[in-house]
Structure 1
Amino acid sequence: MKRLYTYLAALLLPCCMAPAFGGDAYPSKAITIVYPYAPGSASDTMTRLLAEAMSKRLGQPVIVDSKPGAGGSIATEHVVRAAPDGYTLLLSASGTIAVNPHIYKLRYSTLDDLAPISIAVEVPFVFVVNKSFPAQTYADFKTLDGGRPGGLTSANAGLGTQAHLTQAAFAKLAGLNLSIIGYKGAAPAVNDILGGHVDSMMDNAASQIPYVTAGKTTALFVTSDYRFSAYPQVPTAKEVGVTGLVPAGWFGLAAPKGTPPAIVDKLHDVLTASLKEPDMQRKLQELGWVVVGNTPAQAAERARKDYELLGQVARDIALKPN
């Protein structure tokens, strides 16, 4: 009988110990980060930098797979439906997590069907005018807007984007009568602001670095609570008297809901360690990214807060999911 108990205990021991060793054995194969947009952008470059650094620490390939479409919703749903084993991750973004539910009729919950790992980086928005525009400060812009019938024109990269919602919130909070124009992408909007065909633009602060630093556009304020390092002379929205804006757009990593906590914790530790590397910080800063590297709980809380704030803006301007 003693031998029987010993035999049964030997059989059961691996089963009982499996959860404890699961995190240590992970990963045993390549990990895929699903990127929700077309390749070639600054966020794509950032994702590949993180993937390379994480791969070195994990000892397995970390592949970036681009799945663009529907503002990132196709990629997000792909990850939501994936096995919760830590091998399929999402390059999550404030646009896909906090904005899309108010723009698209989704078959999943961006807040409840994903396990946040960390928000890796953020970048504020910036409100710019052409270098020859008659108002080169926020105070002058507000005065000019008030004196022009119909208000001033203001461009963004597309209706329903976070830039658009931030722009609409700004107009309401500042009491401006902006005529907002949604373009099909940032490039044509930038071309029109450079050409003086539109009065102003709400844009990604990193995207405006070459234009602001070259004096082709003038930045009136950034939306963050801190001054942007690429052009620190530019005041924050709070400094010019505008409060209540979502401070920045962000990118991070998320896994499917149900991914074991040990795996989420390991990915978080590897990601945040990668973000602390001096060479990584230098490269990200050159691209205009601000390193965050928060905890899964902090990432979830920020996503929910941004979701609520941007949802209110969407309702204010009568945007309906389609």
Structure 2
Amino acid sequence: MTRLCTAITALLLSVGLTPAHAADAYPAKPITIIYPYAPGSASDTMTRLLAEAMSKRLGQPVIVDGKPGAGGSIATEHVVRAAPDGYTLLLSASGTIAVNPHIYKLRYNPVEDLAQISIAVEVPFVFVVGKQFPAQDYAAFKALSATKPGGLSSANAGLGTQAHLTQAAFAKLAGVNLSILGYKGAAPAVNDILGGHVDSMMDNAASQIPYVTSGKTTALFVTSDYRFDGYPQVPTAKELGITGLVPTGWFGLAAPKDTPPAVIEKIQTVLVASLKDAEMQRKLKELGWVIVGNTSQQALERARTDYALLGQVARDIDLKPN
């Protein structure tokens, strides 16, 4: 029996299954970050910046591989099914982790079937109106909405997106009368705001920086608990008495759930170190990102909280998985 135990222990050691060995030997080959969306966006740029910085610290290439489709669900399932060895990671997002389970019939649970490594960055949503709209502050907007039985028109980048759910939650929590319009992407919605064809929009705060700062749109509030650096004069929802919103959208890294904890810890440490680099911070802030860099446990808790809150909103508006 003793010989058998000794042989098994030797075998485990030889294939590197002890946590300490897993962390020491990792990475021994290139790492792939699966990116869940189409290329060319700010989140794509952010992912590639992080991959380059992490590669320098890990001593191995970190490759970004795009697998868009189904709102990020295709990429997410790919990582859920991948070997739990730390070599296939997911650019996780609040949309893929906390929203998609409520709008798609998934064959996995993205909250529980992945190991959250860290939330790298976040960005609030912003509620804007066009410069020609008669109500240019929140109080006036709310008062005007009360006079419109059909509601003031309000655009988003697509039904079932986090912007849509945040918009619906705002309408309910604030008692504002909105007629919500889901567009096929943010660009046509922004065009209609600028052209005066729609009254308002819930959008990514970073995307609205050029329009708000140039006066083409007016920001009534941001959803975060803090004022947004892109336009710090704009109040938060909480300052206006609106509470209960999911405060931001976020992006981070996740791995298959059975990835060794020591490997998760090593990736998290390298990611956070990369985020603390002064040049990295400058580049990310230029893109409008708010840097987070939290622990794996904090990332998991945030995923669970947002999943529950956004799920309740989806049920409130009778949004069913399809």
TM-score, length basis structure 1: 0.96
The yes-or-no answer on 1:272 pairing with 2:278 is no
| Residues 196-255 of structure 1 deviation map (CA, whole Å, 9 limit, x = unaligned) | 100000000000001001110000000000000010000000111111100000000000
- Matched residue, 2:45: 45
Question: How far has the Cα of 1:44 moved from its partner?
Answer: 0.3
Contact 2:124 2:205 in 1 (8 A): yes
Q: 1: distance between equivalents of 2:149 and 2:108?
A: 44
| Residues 3-32 of structure 1 deviation map (CA, whole Å, 9 limit, x = unaligned) | xx9xx9799657447313221111011100
Q: 1: distance between equivalents of 2:86 and 2:174?
A: 44
Q: 1: distance between equivalents of 2:7 and 2:122?
A: 50
- Matched residue, 1:255: 255
Question: How far has the Cα of 1:257 moved from its partner?
Answer: 1.0
Cα distance change of structure 1 residues 152 and 10 upon mapping to structure 2, 3 Å threshold: closer
- Matched residue, 1:152: 152
- Matched residue, 1:303: 303
Q: 1: distance between equivalents of 2:6 and 2:77?
A: 42
- Matched residue, 2:217: 217
Q: 2: distance between equivalents of 1:9 and 1:91?
A: 41
Q: 1: distance between equivalents of 2:159 and 2:261?
A: 37
Q: 1: distance between equivalents of 2:8 and 2:211?
A: 67
- Matched residue, 1:204: 204
Q: 2: distance between equivalents of 1:54 and 1:173?
A: 41
Contact 2:228 2:234 in 1 (8 A): yes
SS of 2:128's equivalent in the other structure is strand
Q: 1: distance between equivalents of 2:239 and 2:6?
A: 67
The yes-or-no answer on 1:318 pairing with 2:312 is no
| Residues 245-282 of structure 1 deviation map (CA, whole Å, 9 limit, x = unaligned) | 00000000000010001100000000000000011111
Q: 1: distance between equivalents of 2:308 and 2:143?
A: 31
Contact 2:50 2:271 in 1 (8 A): yes
SS of 1:230's equivalent in the other structure is coil
Cα distance change of structure 1 residues 242 and 11 upon mapping to structure 2, 3 Å threshold: closer
Letter in 2 for 1:127: F
SS of 1:180's equivalent in the other structure is strand
Q: 1: distance between equivalents of 2:177 and 2:127?
A: 15
Matched residues, number:
316
Gaps of 5+ in 1: none
| Residues 36-74 of structure 1 deviation map (CA, whole Å, 9 limit, x = unaligned) | 000000000000000000000000000000100000000
Listed as ranges, the matches of 1:73-112 within 5 Å are: 73-112=73-112
Listed as ranges, the matches of 1:1-150 within 5 Å are: 13=10, 15-16=12-13, 18=16, 19=18, 20-150=20-150
In the TM superposition, structure 1's runs of 4+ consecutive aligned residues that sit over 4 Å from their partners are: 8-14
- Matched residue, 2:180: 180
Mean Cα deviation higher: 18-27 or 102-111: 18-27
Q: Percent identity?
A: 81
Letter in 1 for 2:281: Q
Listed as ranges, the matches of 1:221-240 within 5 Å are: 221-240=221-240
SS of 1:249's equivalent in the other structure is strand
Mean Cα deviation higher: 72-81 or 22-31: 22-31
Letter in 2 for 1:159: L
Q: 2: distance between equivalents of 1:208 and 1:307?
A: 25
TM-score, length basis structure 2: 0.96
Q: 2: distance between equivalents of 1:111 and 1:9?
A: 38
Gaps of 5+ in 2: none
Letter in 2 for 1:177: N
| Residues 81-120 of structure 1 deviation map (CA, whole Å, 9 limit, x = unaligned) | 0000000000000000000000000000111110000000
SS of 1:110's equivalent in the other structure is coil
| Residues 161-187 of structure 1 deviation map (CA, whole Å, 9 limit, x = unaligned) | 000000000000111110000000001
Mean Cα deviation higher: 14-23 or 255-264: 14-23
Cα distance change of structure 1 residues 11 and 286 upon mapping to structure 2, 3 Å threshold: same
- Matched residue, 2:245: 245
Contact 2:148 2:177 in 1 (8 A): no
